[in-house]
Amino acid sequence: MPSIVDADRLAVIRRRFVDFAAAYPSLPLYHAICTASAEDDEVAELLLAARPGQERPVLLLAALHELVLRLVEVAPDDPPAVARWFASLTDPAQAPAPDEWRTPGSWPEVRDLVLCHREQLRATIAGRTVQTNEVNRSTYVLAMLALASPRRPVALVGFGTSAGLLLTPDRYDVRVTGPGNAELAWGDRSSAVHNRADDRLGTLTVPALHPPRIVARVGVDLATVPPEDHDTLRWLQACLWPDMPERVERFRAAVRQRQQLPHRDRPTLRDGDLTDPDVVHGALAAALGTATGDAHLVVVTSWALTYVERSRRVLFAEALAGFARSSGARVSWCSAEPADAVPGLPPLAQGADDRGVAQLGVHRWQGADELDPVSWGSADPHGRWLEIPRP
């Protein structure tokens, strides 16, 4: 019998599966899994093994995706039957026909796999955290850098950086398209990593909005991922959604590009907890120490603070403020998080729909002086569209 506490946690987990399924009806596999898991305690209870803040459907889905990736690696000529439901692993010509997705669809095979590998999945869920390097988020990262520091070079520090692929947004081919197909092109057009977004309000496609030059790059994560670490890179791929194979291809292209960079040109990655002031101060000092000129220290979090226990999130902002006061540096924290995840950030403009979007905002310090936080607008969590009203 589960304890009362576990029963309460399981009820929350089941509700999160319902919410995920409702938010993403266009994902045939993950919608089906979440809909069924909400009613299946044998599957849902696996998330009870997760660390605080990580009891999310995406963690179980990632653990399942990694299991299938691993099984395919072991026997590429004889993949498990369940692999055919994963668009990231299946030749489109071999994908299930539309009528095969109808009930019972993928669930019987998925459930059999989950229960057969229950303890392996439980161990993965207990030992891993969601680490999503969605490279297309470069679209809103570059937009935020342009807004935060239009005239000064930037020492860029990413927290929740994983493999650090968002520390080099200026080295990808990034294009933002506004009304009338007006296009804003950023980064390197020769890159094989293509990031695209729609400017839904038509406010970004103006000549004045140019991302600044990045003169230092430092990333921090509980467990950073070197670009040659095959096993952990597989986990990062597993955190992407197989129903969106284009995300997987973009990730692979970004990893290849990173692997080809000389070591001297790669970002510096540091392991640590973003709620630890010593970790935060060390990373910021390292970025300023390697920057050239009068660099503006810009910190970016993208869908990272949401996985920190709510009561501890303010510790991050306090650490940034403490560094600004002690160093006299100009510090900006650009955040792209769920609307209620960032302490002190004002809400989106009245009438804006904040459900399932990333709220873009900035906290700023000029030495001892803290400026009022600003909400810039919103974006698709995967960077596919931006809505930044004119000030």
Three-class DSSP category at 156: strand
Cα angle 242, 244, 246 (rounded to 5 degrees) comes to 115
Return the pLDDT at 273.
96
How far apart are the C-alpha atoms of 378 and 215, rounded to whole Å?
Answer: 27
Three-class DSSP category at 381: coil
| Rg of the chain over all Cα atoms, to the nearest angstrom | 21
Q: Pick the closest to residue 312 from 275, 343, 273 (CA basis).
A: 275
pLDDT band at 92 (very low <50, low <70, confident <90, very high): confident
Domain boundaries, the chain: 4-127, 135-387
Task: List 33's β-bridge partners, or say none.
Answer: none
How far apart are the C-alpha atoms of 36 and 17, rounded to whole Å?
Answer: 9
pLDDT in tens, 271-330: 999 999 999 999 999 999 998 778 999 999 999 999 898 999 999 999 999 999 999 999
213: CB partners within 8 A, 6+ apart:
153, 154
pLDDT in tens, 188-244: 999 999 999 999 998 887 666 889 999 999 999 998 988 888 888 899 999 999 998
User: Alpha carbon 37 to chain centroid distance?
Assistant: 23
Return the pLDDT at 2.
53
**Are the CB atoms for 257 and 192 separated by under 8 Å?**
yes
Q: What is the pTM of this model?
A: 0.85
Three-class DSSP category at 136: helix
**Are the CB atoms for 66 and 26 separated by under 8 Å?**
no
pLDDT in tens, 75-90: 888 889 999 999 988 8
